[in-house]
Structure 1
Amino acid sequence: MEFMIKLKGLFNFPRDNLLEEDIFEWNIENWEGLTHETTSKIFKLCGLNWNLILYRYGYNQTNEYVSVALENFDALKCYNTDDNFRPIDDNQYNINVPTKFAIYIRQNYDFSKFEAKETNYQFDNTNYYHGIYELVKIKKFNKKLLKNNNKLVVGIYLCRYKNNNEVEFVNKLESYLSNKYEKDNFKQFYKEFEINIDNISKINNKYILGDKYFNIGDNYW
Structure 2
Amino acid sequence: MLIIDEQDFLSIQQLDLENKLFSPTAKLFGQVRFQVNELYRDIQNNLIEAHSAVASSAKQVYDQPLPTLTAWYEQAKNSGTALLNETQTHVLPVYQDMLAKWSTGKAHALQHVRNFWEHPEQTTFTALEPVIRHAAAASAQAGQTVRLFLDNPEQFTAAALAPVTSYLTSFTEDSKVVLINTYHALTDLFDLLTSQPLATLQATYYNTLSALLDVYFNVISSFLTMA
TM-score, normalised via structure 1 length: 0.15
Question: Greater share of helix residues, 1 or 2?
Answer: 2
Question: Greater share of strand residues, 1 or 2?
Answer: 1
Compare CA radii of gyration and give the structure with the larger one: 2
TM-score, normalised via structure 2 length: 0.14
